[in-house]
Structure 1
Amino acid sequence: MQKTTRSAVVLLSVLATLPAVSSALNPVVQTMYTADPAPVVHDGTLYLLTSHDEEVGKAGNFNLKNWVLSSTTDMVNWTQHGVVASLRDFPWAAKEISGWEGFDNGAWAPQMIERDGKWYLYAPLQGRGIGVLMADNPLGPFIDPIKKPLIRGNYDSIDPTVYIDADGQAYLAWGNPGLWSVKLNKDMISYDTRVGENGIIRHPMTVKALGERVPPDAQRGTSYEEGPWLYKRKNLDYLFFAAGPIPEHLGYATGPTPEGPWTYGGVVMTPQSAFTNHPGVVDFKGKTYLFYHNAALPGGDGFKRSVCVDELKFNPDGSVQTVQPTREGPAPVATLDPYQRV
């Protein structure tokens, strides 16, 4: 028995030193419903902030109360960190209703970014504008540094995307059915009011910029619907977005700056199993990835969605290739450390 035990220990030691062969699997998170992916890379780790479709609440409606975080170092093995922020972090947003019980559909599509050692999380709050939270690390705890909306508005002020260019200028864009943006100040919790309308630029909603809507809609003149995402590759700035009509597909436009002017590029992904979609594009360890959501998990539908990821590829001229969703997801970009908890 002693000899057998020693052999087993030796075998386990040998196995622990071998490279781990892994394969990914879509959806990325399979223990809860997630949507509106917002990936960000920091110090060799990809963090994935998402909204969280609750299984409880009014049927046939969105039920979103918090934002959850996952992370990976190899695009295959993911660590779930749970809830990192919630509606309760914005007390001002609940003043119009009696108690938190009624505020059950406010935690819509977020995005966060790091600057100078601080993390900033931008979130829309069910018709109450866009708020900002701040923390020392992506896991929180997050606090509300301004205790009021950063961007005031109604249901058009949703789906914020944040981007910092090579010169250190930060931009925030958002909107449904229009597209607006501001230049954030270095503090990341205020914006330059010297341009546009009190600092807010309304982007032209033209077919040249954002594509033709088919069939036409008297209320929406372009394919742009919501969910903007700012990204830069080489000398081109990209605007990815959820495009209409419903069910949504994903489209993109390019421009010389993060404020455009935009030129429509085409379709990135055709409609999926959920009637909404939301792009999140990020570079990680030499590859570019498109995060999106569908209704692939058991029991899923348009109100119980699931985040997925596949590799995004570009043509030599900078145009984006159409992404075909896969069940397998992307290949690993690093070797799993068997001693590290994931």
Structure 2
Amino acid sequence: MPIRSANGNYRALSLSSFFVLLVFALGSCQNNKEANESADQTAQDTAATFQNPLDVEFGDPYILDDGSGTYYMYGTGGGAVDGFSVYSSKDLVNWNYENQVYHGNTADSWNESAFWAPECYFFDGKYYLFYSANWKHNPTNEGENFHIGVAVADDPKGPFEDLQNKPLFEPGYPIIDANVFRDDDGKFYLYYSRACYKHPVESEVADWAKAEGLFDEIEESWVYGVELSPDFKSVIGEPVLLLRPPVKMDDANAEWESRSVTSGEVNRRWTEGSFTFKHQGTYYMMYSANFYAGENYAVGYSTATAPLGPYTKADNNPVLQKNVAEGGEVTGTGHNSVLFLEDQGKMYSVYHGRTQSTGEERVVFIDEMTIDANGKLEVAGPTTSPQPMIITDSK
């Protein structure tokens, strides 16, 4: 076989040289093929997984699934000024900022500040945004004057306008963290948290803190429930106390729910950020405890046989908490909501937390949640390692 030499003349290629070149060429092709296959596999593996936290700086995240194939996330902060913003996603991992969907603190609004914890629901063709904010009407000049508002829109991206230019109702104390549940009989229920403000409570934990010289008194927030009118403009009947921090030190939930106090962080114990749903005839109420801006913020749950209780706290609480003691980097896990993907038979806990890299900024996590045959609820988080993509066929 002739080949061309450097001086332009042709010379014969020996048979042995030819085979050497052939082997080299085949080996090079094989190496290239393996490299390409490895790159393709790496791309597939990357595409098939995601890692927490998501690229959304929200506190109190809530994801709406209205059946359109697009998911919408609402939360505290996220770039909103005196109101709330929304992000959208097809796969629950990659989120796009849309716009600010609600604007408060206007000349005509009933509210003026502290726009917190929005949750958006799709009922009968309309989108309803339940949220917390400070009421302008404050004749006694209270330091915390939180109330619950309801706004409505024709589109999940807004604009949302208040149903009425006043809070949903006046319970006589500041309230936050509205959560709505519609039962099988069509009745609606509102769950909320009474703020700690001016609510000192006697307990063995309070006695201990005073004896230790930490705090003279301990304020608490409690979760209440009440039936909600179908037009979302009022409540029906009187609110019922459903959850509160443990009174006794030997209560199974006293240790984890009191960490903000026992660590000397602050003189408050919280029961807030509740989320209620029904599973196989049992009502589950998830809730958060401890200081929302601290590392001990964590999630527990309770169960009942009726929407307004009585609720019994689980003995495997907390089901979601910081993981730094196990070598992780996540703290401040809390104020979760639950996303149900019925076509997959799965449910996910959506919550905020902090990492070493995000610092004090709250960011969104989403981890799978399960309930076993005995009714035991568990959250497989917080995770920061690669997890299987939640939705793989989004378009």
What is the TM-score when the length of structure 1 is the normalising length? 0.75
Structure 2 unaligned regions, length at least 5: 1-39, 135-144, 196-220, 324-329
Say if 1:235 and 1:321 are closer, same or farther in 2 by CA, change over 3 A. Answer: same
Quote how far apart the aligned CAs of 1:334 are.
Answer: 3.3
Q: Secondary structure in 1 aligned to 2:254?
A: coil
Please give the residue correspondences for 1:63-78 in structure 2 after superposition, counting only pairs within 5 Å.
Answer: 65-78=82-95
2:52 aligned to which of 21, 26, 39 = 26
Q: Relative to structure 1, is the Cα distance of residues 248 and 156 closer, same or farther in structure 2, using a 3 angstrom cutoff?
A: farther
**Where do 1:204-219 residues align within 5 Å?**
205=244, 207=246, 212-214=253-255, 215=258
Matched, 1:45 2:70: yes
Q: Give the drift of 1:259.
A: 1.4
Hey, what does 2:318 align to over in structure 1? 267
Seen in structure 2, the aligned counterparts of structure 1 residues 88 and 270 have a Cα distance that, compared at 3 Å, is same
SS of corresponding position for 1:278: strand
Distance of 1:236 and 1:213 partners within structure 2: 24
* Amino acid aligned to 1:250: V
State the shift of 1:111 in Å: 1.1
CA–CA separation in structure 1 for the residues paired with 2:161 and 2:356 = 33
Question: For residue 325 of structure 1, what is the amino acid of its counterpart?
Answer: P
Q: Does 1:187 align with 2:247?
A: no
The aligned amino acid for 2:367 is: D
Superposition pairs of residues 5-16 of structure 1, within 5 angstroms: none
Deviation, 1:318, is 1.4
- State the percentage of identical aligned residues: 27
Among candidates 353, 367, 370, match of residue 294 of structure 1:
353
Q: Secondary structure at the match of 1:109?
A: strand
CA contact (8 A) 1:224 1:241 kept: no
Work out the number of aligned pairs and report it: 290
User: Residues of 2 paired with 1:229 and 1:289: CA distance?
Assistant: 13
Q: Would you tell me which structure has more helix in proportion to its own residues?
A: 2
Name 1:6's counterpart in structure 2. Answer: none
Cα deviation 1:147-199 (Å, max 9, x = unaligned): 0011335874011111111211111101040111221111122221xx33xxx
Distance 1:45 1:231, change over 3 A: farther
Match of 1:323 in 2: 380
Evaluate the alpha carbon distance shift between residue 321 and residue 204 of structure 1 in structure 2; reply closer, same or farther with a 3 A threshold: closer
Given residue 274 of structure 2, which amino acid in structure 1 is its aligned partner?
Answer: P
Distance 2:272 2:243 in 1: 14
Q: In structure 2, how many angstroms separate the alpha carbons of the residues matched to 1:78 and 1:239?
A: 28
**Higher strand proportion:** 2
Q: Secondary structure at the residue paired with 1:160?
A: strand
For residues 75 and 301 of structure 2, the distance between their equivalents in structure 1, rounded to whole angstroms, comes to 21
* 1:73–1:334 Cα contact (<8 Å) kept: no
| Structure-2 residue corresponding to 1:80 | 97
Question: Residue type of the partner of 2:151?
Answer: L
Change (3 A) 1:88 1:231: same
Pick closer, same or farther for the CA change 1:73–1:317 going to 2, 3 Å: farther
Distance 1:79 1:38, change over 3 A: same
- Of 265, 288, 291, which aligns to 1:242? 288
Distance 1:260 1:162 in 2: 15
Aligned 8 A contact 1:35 1:52 in 2:
yes
**In the alignment, what sits opposite 2:146?**
128
Give TM-score, length-normalised by structure 2.
0.65
Q: 1:202: Cα distance to partner?
A: 2.5
Q: Secondary structure in 2 aligned to 1:162?
A: strand
Coordinate RMSD, CA, aligned: 3.1
Shift of 1:282: 1.7
SS at match of 2:160: coil
> What aligned pairs does 1:216-231 form with structure 2 within 5 A after superposition?
225-231=271-277
Measured in 1, the distance between the counterparts of 2:286 and 2:298 equals 11
Map of 2:302 onto structure 1: 253
Instruction: Write the letter of the residue equivalent to 2:59.
Output: A
Q: Distance in 1 between matches of 2:363 and 2:94?
A: 17
Tell me which residue corresponds to 2:191. Answer: 173
Distance 1:53 1:129, change over 3 A: same
Q: Distance in 1 between matches of 2:179 and 2:275?
A: 5
Deviates more, 1:119-128 or 1:248-257: 119-128
Partner amino acid, structure 2, of 1:41: D
Secondary structure class of the residue paired with 2:71: strand
